Amino acid sequence: MLSFEHLYATLPEPLWVATQATPVASPELIAFNAPLASELGANDVQEAATLAQWFSGNQPMPGSQPGALGYAGHQFGNFVPQLGDGRALLLGEVIDQHGVRRDVQLKGSGRTPFSRGGDGRSPLGPVLREYLVSEFMAAMGIPTTRALAAVTSGERVVRQMAEPGAVFTRVASSHIRVGTFQFAAAQRDEDLLKALADHVIARHYPEAANAEDPYMALLEAVVARQAVLIARWMSVGFIHGVMNTDNCSIAGETIDYGPCAFMEQFDPQKVYSSIDQGRRYAFANQPAIAQWNLARFAETLLPLMREEGDALVQQATDVIRRFEARFSAEQLRLHADKLGLAAESPQAAPLMEGLESQMHQGRMDMTATFDALTHYALSPSDEHREALLALTTQPNELSAWLETWQAEQVASQDSQRSAVMRSANPVIIPRNHRVQEAIDAAYEGDFAPFHALLTVVTQPFDESVEARRLAAPATKNEQVLRTFCGT
Q: Mind telling me the catalytic residues? A: 246
Q: Can you tell me the distance from the alpha carbon of 483 to that of 129, in angstroms, rounded to the nearest whole number?
A: 10
In DSSP terms, 74 is beta-bridged to: 79
CB atoms within 10 A of CB 436: 18
In this structure, are residues 234 and 337 in contact, taking their beta carbons and an 8 Å threshold? Answer: no
DSSP code per residue over 66-88: -EEEP--EEETTEEES----SSE
Give the helix ranges, DSSP H, for 340-464: 348-361, 366-378, 382-389, 395-412, 417-424, 432-443, 448-457
Which residues are within 8 A (CB) of 435 and not within 5 positions of it... i.e. 6 or more apart? 128, 129, 132, 133, 453, 480
The gap between the terminal CA atoms of the chain, to the nearest Å, is: 30
In this structure, are residues 315 and 398 in contact, taking their beta carbons and an 8 Å threshold? Answer: no
Q: Can you tell me the distance from the alpha carbon of 43 to that of 60, in angstroms, rounded to the nearest whole number?
A: 18
CB atoms within 10 A of CB 437: 18
CA 334 and chain centroid, separation: 18
Residue 31 DSSP one-character state: E
Closest-CA residue to 147 (of 242, 34, 261, 61): 34
Handedness of CA 10, 11, 14, 19 (dihedral sign): negative
CB atoms within 10 A of CB 174: 25
